[in-house]
């Protein structure tokens, strides 16, 4: 619990009571999700029960125009999700927000039932996923994701160079000659670089935003479109989680790819100036 408490020292507007959790966090979409997940773990360990109240009225503030809880625009209501969150008096899970920068093979995957209960996609998000699957003719068993969260992320952590992605992409293609590359990034230059190297690639032209390399984020530059594109981005994250291979950096976006994936197989991850590989052919 020490790491959890340390994490929440910088988010002291987030608090738990015996009745439930109350989240206040102004940041990117998946940062908000990680903070909320952190609180849920803390609550269940502390009280050995599920919270009666999960109040996110002051969460996801970048993605709405008035004070309201928009959680269920994105996620199924937790009361509608029945899963194996049993024996809560014995529940143990070591999760904290800064694990976004850790080697994902070290994650405590005991957290997955909580992810399933509180972060399962809503019907609206499922419909977006289905439409994108049809539009782009997605064959998950034949897709390798090249995911690069750049721009302002460099303020938080060391980023890989583009060339490193080529090493792992070429390695995967050598063992899977028919692989197709899904290129996803908020940096225009990364998309251009990878599409030039891989004719067998595509990216989501209409559903994802990107900007030239800078120390800013699409959420700030294109604030007026955040509500719509955050829904697309949740759908895209779940789509990436379903693909056979993922090459990525470290951060909340990459973390949630792995959490939705449910495991760390076939991942090449850059973390703290080192690459971690779990490829299986």
Strand, coil or helix: 184: strand
Strand, coil or helix: 180: strand
DSSP category for residue 122: P
User: Rounded distance, CA 253 to CA 264, Å?
Assistant: 14
- Is the pLDDT score of 274 beyond 90? yes
Kindly state the tokens that stand for 197: 């190297």
Distance of CA 149 to the CA centre of its chain: 11
**Length reported for the chain:** 281
Strands 20-25 vs 15-17: parallel, antiparallel or unpaired:
antiparallel
Domain with CATH 3.40.50.11350 in the chain: 129-277
**Is pLDDT larger for residue 74 or for residue 8?**
74
User: Rounded distance, CA 50 to CA 45, Å?
Assistant: 10
Cβ-based neighbours of 147, under 8 Å, separated by 6 or more? 184, 185, 240, 246, 247, 248, 249, 253, 254, 257
Question: Across residues 241-269, what is the average pLDDT?
Answer: 97
The model's confidence at residue 238, banded by pLDDT at 50, 70 and 90, is: very high
Kindly state the tokens that stand for 191: 């998309």
The model's confidence at residue 131, banded by pLDDT at 50, 70 and 90, is: very high
**Architecture of 129-277 per CATH?**
3-Layer(aba) Sandwich (3.40)
Query: What pLDDT is stored for residue 4 in this prediction?
Result: 34
Q: What is the pLDDT of residues 26-57, one digit of tens each?
A: 899 999 999 999 999 999 988 888 999 999 99
Lowest-confidence segment of 5-19, 28-42, 248-262 by average pLDDT? 5-19
Query: What pLDDT is stored for residue 5 in this prediction?
Result: 33
Q: State the pTM of this model.
A: 0.93
The model's confidence at residue 87, banded by pLDDT at 50, 70 and 90, is: low
Query: What pLDDT is stored for residue 178 in this prediction?
Result: 95
Query: What pLDDT is stored for residue 10 in this prediction?
Result: 37
User: Rounded distance, CA 155 to CA 71, Å?
Assistant: 28
Q: What is the pLDDT of residues 151-208, one digit of tens each?
A: 999 999 999 999 999 999 999 999 999 999 999 999 999 999 999 999 999 999 999 9
Lowest-confidence segment of 38-42, 126-130, 240-244, 265-269 by average pLDDT? 38-42
Q: Tokens 């290129």, residue? A: 183
Q: What is the mean pLDDT of the chain?
A: 91
Distance of CA 274 to the CA centre of its chain: 20
Strand, coil or helix: 161: coil
CB 34 within 8 A of CB 100: yes
Question: Across residues 80-101, what is the average pLDDT?
Answer: 82
- Is the pLDDT score of 280 beyond 60? yes
Instruction: Single out the residue of 50, 141, 106 nearest to residue 276, CA to CA.
Output: 106
């Amino acid at each position: 619990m020490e790491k959890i408490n340390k994490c929440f020292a910088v988010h002291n507007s987030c608090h738990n009571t015996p009745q439930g959790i109350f989240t206040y966090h102004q940041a990117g979409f998946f940062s908000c999700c990680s903070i909320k997940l952190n609180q849920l773990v803390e609550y269940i360990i502390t009280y050995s029960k599920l919270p009666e109240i999960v109040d996110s009225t002051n969460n996801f503030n970048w993605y709405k125009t008035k004070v309201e809880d928009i959680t269920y625009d994105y996620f199924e209501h937790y009361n509608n999700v029945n899963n194996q969150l049993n024996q809560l008096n014995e529940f143990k899970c070591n999760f904290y927000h800064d694990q976004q920068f850790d080697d994902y093979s070290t994650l405590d995957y005991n957290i997955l039932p909580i992810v399933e209960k509180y972060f399962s996609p809503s019907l609206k998000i499922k419909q977006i996923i289905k439409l994108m699957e049809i539009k782009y003719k997605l064959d998950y068993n034949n897709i390798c994701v090249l995911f690069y969260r750049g721009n302002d992320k460099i303020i938080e952590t060391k980023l890989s160079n583009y060339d490193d992605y080529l090493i792992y992409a070429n390695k995967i293609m050598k063992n899977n000659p028919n692989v197709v590359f899904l290129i996803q990034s908020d940096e225009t230059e990364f998309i251009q670089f990878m599409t030039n190297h891989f004719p067998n690639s595509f990216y989501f032209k209409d559903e994802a935003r990107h900007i030239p390399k800078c120390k800013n984020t699409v959420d700030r530059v294109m604030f007026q479109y955040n509500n719509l594109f955050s829904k697309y981005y949740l759908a895209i994250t779940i789509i990436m989680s379903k693909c056979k291979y993922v090459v990525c950096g470290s951060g909340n976006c990459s973390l949630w790819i792995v959490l939705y994936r449910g495991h760390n197989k076939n991942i090449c991850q850059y973390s703290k100036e080192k690459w971690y590989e779990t490829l299986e052919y």
